[in-house]
Structure 1
Amino acid sequence: MIPLYKPLVTGRESLYIDDAIKTGKFSGDGIFTQRCREWLESTLECKKALLTTSCTHALEMAAMLLDISNGDEIIVPSFTFVSTGNAFVLHGAKLVFVDIRPDTMNLNEMLIEQAISEKTKAIIAVHYAGVSCEMDVIMKLANKYNLIVIEDAAHALMSKYKNQYLGTIGHLGCFSFHESKNYHCGEGGALLINDERFIERAEIIRDKGTNRKNYFRGEVDKYTWVDIGSSYLMSELNAAFLYPQLLIAEDINNDRLKSWETYYRALINLNLENKLTLPSIPRQVNHNAHIFYIKVPSKGIRSGLISYLQENGISTSFHYIPLHSSDMGEVHGVFNKEDIYTSIESERLLRLPMYYGLKQSDIFDIVSLIRDYFDKENSDEKSRRLLGKTEF
């Protein structure tokens, strides 16, 4: 069986965890937390990076930093993971869903302005598959209407838009270090703060609403409860697992990009034959090969292809069910204007195996099976047509 993803292990994680154990500091904000934070800040060139227990919690921190409350509106794509919406709904926000672009599966930047109202507080830019949204347009709208932009960059560590790392363009950026991501520690995340006015409060929110960081820096003689917050601090052992992966981030990125390009080249003929659609990468974007997906003509063909590949030892999957079609999405959100692409494109999308160390021979085997499936479909269709013309 070739899995959909395989959690990365460099071979040095246990050594770093042993080093963390020897320090006797397990709860977080130890030397490995500091090293990961410094790597993020220096590599991505952001003002502040805070490690969190998950990307979900990074998004929840963003909602707290914005003082989201009942009646506030958040502009967001419906094609995203539940945490993107849930983090803001928890604080009373109403989600205003905007249709996606079919080429990138990202928020359609040309539809955002018509969704803005006097109640709008923020725009959530979700960079699907590590491919950037059109950030120049989004930031221009945010400046025009005095809105905050939060980048849901769960997929996007090491991806760029116009040579700037994703997660560093909006006011806040949220990353995931879940085991399915390019770089991981099992469960984890990070909040990047690109607007300095949020830094001090973010540290307080992450540390249960206390000013403990100020105390450890000698800025106050004791620490106490000063704001809302929760326990969002990544453990030191998780940081120790993550750190060796960050150290070889470029190698990991290059390996995944090689696999992505192999898929693309091997499938291009099926794309030209209109059997499937390949991902589209805008010219100003450098992606990180987080996901390789194809889009097939219909949901039925997708189901058949998933079953066929599964029978042959290949694990594949569709992705998000649009939030606006869920029970909670109907209660806490509204789709602005018409859903032209979100639902239909999500029903066509199929994710193929993608992970560090994926063998080129495995990719060719997968592509060969996909071609076999479409050849079989074409043959069956011809047979059905012939039967339809037969007179008895």
Structure 2
Amino acid sequence: MIPFNKPFIIGKELAYIEEAVKSGKISGDGIFTKKCQHFFEQKYHFPKVLMTTSCTDALEMAAILCNVEPGDEVIVPSYTFVSSANAFALRGAKIVFVDSCHDNPNIDPVEIEKHITEKTKVIVPVHYAGIACDMEKIMELAQKHNLFVVEDAAQAIDSYYTFSDGTKKALGSIGHFAAFSFHETKNIIAGEGGMLAINDPQYFDRAEVIREKGTNRSAFFRGEVNKYGWVDLGSSFLPSEIISAFLYAQLENIETIQKKRLEIWYKYQKGLSTLQEQGFVSLPDIPSYATNNAHMYYIVCRSYDERTQLIQYLKAQDIHPVFHYLSLNKSDFFLANNPEIDIPNSDHFTDCLLRLPFYYELSDNEQNTIIEQINSFFTK
């Protein structure tokens, strides 16, 4: 079986884990946590980074930092993972689902504007497949209506957005806050693990407090206060040094990882291009303002039934592709308290999008087999 995903070791992951254990500290905010944070701040120019146990935790921290309360409205794409909405629903917000663009799964800025009301507090753009949402338009809307922007950049490490004036910024450095994931399915992995980027200095101190269970513990250890206590809302969002040690070894090899992933991505694009020309599938399209971080490769089939048949065919050839999100507006949780709403583009991607096996150790022979079998399915 060629799996959909496979975690990998590329460098000193195990040595760094051993080093962390021998240091006598494997709880949060040790040497490797600080090394990871420094790496991201230096490479991507995030003003402040805090490592977390997951992207979900980072989103929940952002919701607290935005002071989301019952009665507030938060705009979220329907085509996303549940954490994008759940983090704000936990604060009592009303989640307002918005459709994707017709030609890619990212949130449509035109639809965002239609759904802004006097109760809207936050926009949550999700950079699907690591490809940037149209952040210039989204930030203009946020500024016009005085809204927070929380980038769900779970899939978007090492990806960029170019503004109309030529300015190029890393995804996650544009909104007020951004959440990243280092789950084993991501480009850079730590099993679990995440990160919150804080792009406005006025939130630096409070972010530390929220991450430390609502205490000013970090300030205490820096000698800024003579004792620490409960000063705000918060939870236990710090990752273990074990997670950070593994992650740091991956970061040391990020250029190598990204080079290989881009080779895989473009091989899929070339190998399946004839199917798009013949109208069998749609392939990913990178907007002019976005870069490609090769997070995943997907195809969009013509129908739900055709995708189902393709999945069954490939599994019979020992290849394991997977579909992706189910539109959140059709989830049991949402429909239990809300009327059914029509979000057609999201529903189309729910029914027709298929992700192909994609991981660092995917071999040329394995990828050739996948491409050949997909072409074979459609030509037959």
- TM bin (shorter chain): over 0.9
1:139 aligns with 2:139: yes
State the one-letter code of the partner of 1:371.
N
Structure 2 distance, partners of 1:231, 1:340, is: 38
* Distance across 2 between alignment mates of 1:193 and 1:245: 23
Alpha-carbon distance in structure 2 between the residues aligned to 1:255 and 1:329: 40
The 1:53–1:77 alpha-carbon spacing in structure 2 relative to 1, beyond 3 Å, is same
Do the aligned residues in 2 keep the contact of 1:131 with 1:285 (CA within 8 Å)? yes
Cα offsets for 1:39-95 (capped at 9, x unmatched): 010011011000001000000001111111111100010000011111111110111
Q: Which residue of 1 aligns with 2:364?
A: 360
User: Which deviates further from its counterpart, 48-57 or 100-109?
Assistant: 100-109
Amino acid at match of 1:349: L
- Check whether the contact 2:54–2:181 (CA below 8 A) recurs between aligned residues: yes
Structure 1 counterpart of 2:165: none
Structure 2 CA distance for partners of 1:333 and 1:285, relative to 1, 3 Å: farther
Distance 1:332 1:249 in 2: 44
Partner SS for 1:126: coil
Whole-Å separation in 2 of the counterparts to 1:141 and 1:164 = 18
The one-letter amino acid paired with 2:343 is D
| 2:264 matches 1:264 | no
Matched, 1:219 2:258: no
The separation in 1 between residues aligned to 2:230 and 2:135, in whole angstroms, is 37
Summarize deviations over 1:119-143 as a string: whole Å, max 9, x none.
1000001000000000000001000
SS at match of 1:75: strand
Establish whether residue 243 from structure 1 lines up as the match of residue 248 from structure 2.
Answer: yes
2: CA distance, partners of 1:133 / 1:236: 33
8 Å CA contact retained: 2:330, 2:340: no
Please report how far the alpha carbon of residue 213 of structure 1 lies from its aligned counterpart in structure 2 after TM superposition. 0.7
**2:11–2:250 contact (8 Å) kept in structure 1:** no
> In structure 2, do the counterparts of structure 1 residues 35 and 69 end up closer, same or farther at CA, with 3 Å as the change threshold?
same
Does 2:66 align with 1:71? no
Give me the whole-angstrom Cα distance separating, in 1, the residues matched to 2:205 and 2:33. Answer: 18
Correspondence for 2:12: 12
Q: Runs of 4+ in structure 1 displaced over 3 angstroms?
A: 331-336
Aligned to 2:288: 283
- 1:110 and 2:79 equivalent? no
1:295 maps onto 2:304 in alignment: no
Q: Could you tell me the percent identity over the aligned residues?
A: 49
Amino acid across the alignment from 1:171: H
Secondary structure of 2:344's counterpart equals coil
Question: 2:205 & 2:337 partners in 1: Cα distance?
Answer: 31
In structure 2, the residue corresponding to 1:321 is in which secondary structure?
coil
Residue segments in structure 1 that go unaligned for 5+ positions in a row: 377-392
One-letter code aligned to 1:198: Y
Q: Distance in 2 between matches of 1:103 and 1:5?
A: 26
Given that 2:17 and 2:242 are in contact with CA atoms closer than 8 Å, whether structure 1 keeps it comes out as: yes
TM-score normalised by L of structure 2: 0.97
How does the TM-score come out when normalised to structure 1?
0.94
- The secondary structure found in structure 1 opposite 2:195 is strand
Question: 1:333: how far off?
Answer: 6.1
- The answer to whether 1:348 aligns with 2:348 is no
Match of 1:31 in 2: 31
Q: Indicate if the aligned counterparts of 1:73 and 1:119 stay in contact, CA closer than 8 A.
A: yes
Alignment root-mean-square deviation, CA:
1.2
Whole-angstrom CA distance in 1 between matches of 2:275 and 2:310: 14
